[in-house]
C-alpha cells in the first residue's frame, strides 16, 4: 500500500477545511500520514489526529516553521519524502506555494489541482480555466499533488485516533522572513467552504451600493459574499472576495450571481456549484447559460424585494 504524506493547513490551533478534502483524495492513494508543521502547533496536531482516515500525524514544531514559509517547509517535506510515495497538499495559496518547491527538490513533475483519482498514478485536472479536463498519468517515482478542495468530499473531522510523532524541522534557510499579515476580518462563513454564496459584479456601481444591496441578502441566507474580478478591480470589495480562475474556486450548494455577466474567468471559479441563480438585466448575459434559475431584471429592485420576502 502506498504511503501518502499530506500537508495540513492550519492556524496552529485548528485544521483548515481544505485539508479535509485533501485527506479524502490522499486516502484513495494509500495510507495517510498528516504533517503538521508550525510553531506552537500542538492544537492543530491533536485536531489532525482526530480526522477520520489519518493513520499517523507528524508534528514539526519549530520557530522556523511559523507562517509556513515555503523556504523552510519544502526542505522538511522533501526530507520526509524518503519514506513516502506521494505528497498531497490542498490547492490553497499555502499548498500552491509549497508543493511545487517540494516537487522540484524531488525532481518530479507536480500534478496541480486534481479533480479525481483515476488510478495509482492517474488523475484528472482542469486546464484552460476549466474549459477542458485532462486525464494525466505520472511517470515519476514519487507523486506530488495538489487537490482542488471542492472536488472531494471532506473527511470527517472526528472519529480518528492517530498517534502524534514529533519530527525535527530542518534548519532555518535564512532566505526569507515573515514581516506581517493583514487578514480580512469576517463574521461570515468562509468563501471556499460556505453552503450559500451571494456574489456581486460590476453592476453594483460602487462599494457603498455593493454593501447596501448584497450584504442584507447574504445576511438573510447566512451566506458568504463573493465578487467578480470587475467588482474587485473597481474597489467595491477586497481582493480575497474574488471568485474565478485567478481568485477562489468555490462549489457551494447555491451560488447567487448578482449583476455578473459570466465571463470565462469567473465561470471557472463557480460553475461546479450545485445550483446557480443569476439575477441580471441582460437576458443574453452568458451567466444565464450556466444558471439553473435566472431572473431577468433590475437588480436594484429585485434584490431588495428578494431580501424582504425571504
Partner 1 sequence: MKALVCVKRVIDYNVKPRVKSDGTGVDLANVKMSMNPFDEIAVEEAIRLKEKGVVTEIVAVSVGPQKAQETLRTALAMGADRAILVMSDDEVEPLAVAKIIAGIAGEEAPGLIVTGKQAIDDDSNQVGQMVAALLGRPQGTFANEVSVEGDAVVVKREIDGGLQTVRLALPAVVTTDLRLNEPRYASLPNIMKAKSKPLANKTPADYGVDVAPRLKTLKVTEPPVRSAGIKVPDVDTLVAKLKEMGVA
Note whether 295 binds partner 1 by CB under 8 A.
Answer: yes
Closest-CA residue to 225 (of 264, 186, 253, 261) = 186
**Among 28, 46, 97, 209, which residue sits at the site for partner 1 (rule: CB under 8 A)?**
97
Helix (H, G, I), strand (E, B) or coil at 40: coil
How far apart are CB 262 and partner 1 at their closest, in Å? 12
Residue 82 binds partner 1, judged by CB under 8 A = no
Candidate segments 46-54, 57-65, 161-169, 234-242, binder of partner 1 by CB under 8 A: 234-242
* Of 171, 119, 176, nearest in space to 145 by CA: 119
Identity of the residue, 126 or 160, whose beta carbon is nearer to partner 1 in the bound complex? 126
In the complex, least distance from residue 211 CB atom to partner 1, rounded to whole angstroms? 18
27-66 binders of partner 1 (CB under 8 A)? none
Q: Contact region for partner 1 (CB under 8 A) — 81-89, 123-131, 158-166, 199-207?
A: 123-131
> What span, in angstroms and rounded, lies between the C-alpha atoms of 160 and 299?
47
Residue from 50, 67, 209, 215 touching partner 1 (CB under 8 A): that is 67
Contacts of residue 282, Cβ cutoff 8 Å, sequence gap at least 6: 261, 296
Which residues in 133-172 contact partner 1 (CB under 8 A)? 133-140
CB 167, min distance to partner 1, A? 21
Q: Any contact of residue 176 with partner 1 (CB under 8 A)?
A: yes
Taking the complex as a whole, the smallest distance from the CB of residue 73 to partner 1 amounts, in Å, to 12
CA distances from 281 to 102, 108, 217, 296, 301 (A): 48, 49, 18, 5, 11
Which residue in the set 5, 8, 103, 151 belongs to the binding site for partner 1 (CB under 8 A)? 103
Give Cα 56 distance to the centre of its chain: 23
CA distances from 57 to 73, 162, 169 (A): 16, 6, 15
Site for partner 1 in 247-276 (CB under 8 A): 248, 253-254, 264-265, 271, 275-276
Q: Which of 2, 39, 109, 234 binds partner 1 (CB under 8 A)?
A: 109
* Residues in CB range of 305: below 8 A, 6 or more apart: none
**22 touches partner 1 by CB under 8 A:** no
**Do the beta carbons of residue 15 and residue 8 sit within 8 Å?**
yes
281 touching partner 1, by CB under 8 A: no
Q: How many CB atoms lie within 10 A of CB 2?
A: 14
Distances in Å between the Cα of 166 and the Cα atoms of 42, 45, 63, 231, 248 are 10, 10, 14, 46, 33
Tell me how far apart the alpha carbons of residues 31 and 37 are, in angstroms, rounded to a whole number: 19
Residue 240 binding partner 1, by CB under 8 A: yes
* C-beta closer to partner 1: residue 76 or 196: 196
Q: Report if residue 282 touches partner 1, rule: CB under 8 A.
A: no
Amino acid at each position: 500500500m502506498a504511503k501518502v504524506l499530506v500537508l495540513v493547513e492550519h492556524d496552529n490551533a485548528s485544521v483548515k477545511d481544505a485539508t479535509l478534502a485533501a485527506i479524502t483524495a490522499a486516502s484513495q492513494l494509500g495510507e495517510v500520514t498528516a504533517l503538521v508543521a508550525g510553531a506552537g502547533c500542538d492544537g492543530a496536531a491533536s485536531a489532525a489526529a482526530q480526522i477520520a482516515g489519518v493513520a499517523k500525524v507528524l508534528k514539526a514544531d519549530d520557530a522556523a516553521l511559523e507562517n509556513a514559509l515555503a523556504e523552510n517547509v519544502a526542505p522538511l517535506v522533501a526530507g520526509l519524502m524518503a519514506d513516502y510515495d506521494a505528497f498531497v497538499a490542498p490547492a490553497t495559496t499555502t499548498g500552491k506555494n509549497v508543493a511545487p518547491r517540494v516537487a522540484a527538490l524531488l525532481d518530479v513533475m507536480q500534478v496541480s489541482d486534481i479533480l479525481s483519482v483515476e488510478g495509482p498514478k492517474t488523475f484528472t485536472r482542469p486546464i484552460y480555466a476549466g474549459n477542458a479536463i485532462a486525464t494525466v498519468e505520472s511517470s515519476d517515482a514519487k507523486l506530488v499533488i495538489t487537490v482542488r478542495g471542492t472536488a472531494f468530499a471532506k473527511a470527517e473531522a472526528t472519529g480518528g485516533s492517530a498517534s502524534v510523532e514529533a519530527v525535527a524541522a530542518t534548519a532555518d534557510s535564512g532566505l526569507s522572513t515573515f514581516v506581517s499579515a493583514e487578514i480580512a476580518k469576517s463574521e461570515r462563513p468562509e468563501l471556499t467552504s460556505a453552503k450559500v454564496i451571494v456574489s456581486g459584479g460590476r453592476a453594483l456601481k460602487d462599494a457603498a451600493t455593493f454593501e447596501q444591496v448584497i450584504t442584507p441578502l447574504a445576511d438573510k441566507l447566512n451566506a458568504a459574499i463573493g465578487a467578480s474580478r470587475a467588482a474587485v478591480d473597481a474597489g467595491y470589495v477586497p481582493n480575497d472576495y474574488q471568485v474565478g480562475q485567478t481568485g477562489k474556486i468555490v462549489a457551494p450548494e447555491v451560488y447567487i450571481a448578482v449583476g455578473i455577466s459570466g465571463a470565462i474567468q469567473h465561470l471557472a471559479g463557480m460553475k461546479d456549484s450545485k445550483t446557480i441563480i443569476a439575477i441580471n438585466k441582460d437576458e443574453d448575459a452568458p451567466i444565464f447559460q450556466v444558471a439553473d434559475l435566472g431572473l431577468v431584471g433590475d437588480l436594484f429592485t429585485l434584490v431588495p424585494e428578494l431580501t424582504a420576502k425571504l
